[in-house]
Structure 1
């Protein structure tokens, strides 16, 4: 019977898996920057959408 019913990854499940987990290299700055780009686009899109909604509401109130 499994001690991990949610089937979550458990690096302490075996010595080999734990050592691989510990030996993982941290992400390089290039990878971190590449992952941040989609988030930046999403934030800019949300701000533009909010400005459009505020503009439509302002025009509707006139």
Structure 2
């Protein structure tokens, strides 16, 4: 049985196409941390408000 896999280095044209192809799993741009920081800030404010309300009641 013949092997159906074709090595891209076996042909110059195939190798050039392989070498210049963009990476399929390129890392995405880092996400902005502003929503995360804003969410944490809101949670801290709410926690302080609940603790103050419980302490004063």
| Structure 1 residue 27 displacement after superposition | 1.9
| Structure 1 residue 24 displacement after superposition | 3.3
Q: Which runs of 4+ in 1 moved over 6 A?
A: none
Q: What CA deviation, in whole Å up to 9, does each residue of 1:26-57 have, x standing for no partner?
A: 023xx42x1x2111100110000000000011
TM-score w.r.t. the length of structure 1 is 0.48
TM-score w.r.t. the length of structure 2 is 0.51
Q: Which of the two has higher C-alpha Rg?
A: 2
> Aligned with 2:35: secondary structure?
helix
Q: Give the structure with the higher percent helix.
A: 1
Partner Cα separation in structure 2 for residue 37 and residue 27 of structure 1? 17
- Over the residues paired in the alignment, what is the CA RMSD in angstroms? 1.6
Please, which runs of 5 or more residues in structure 2 have no aligned partner?
A: 1-22
Please, which runs of 5 or more residues in structure 1 have no aligned partner?
A: 1-21
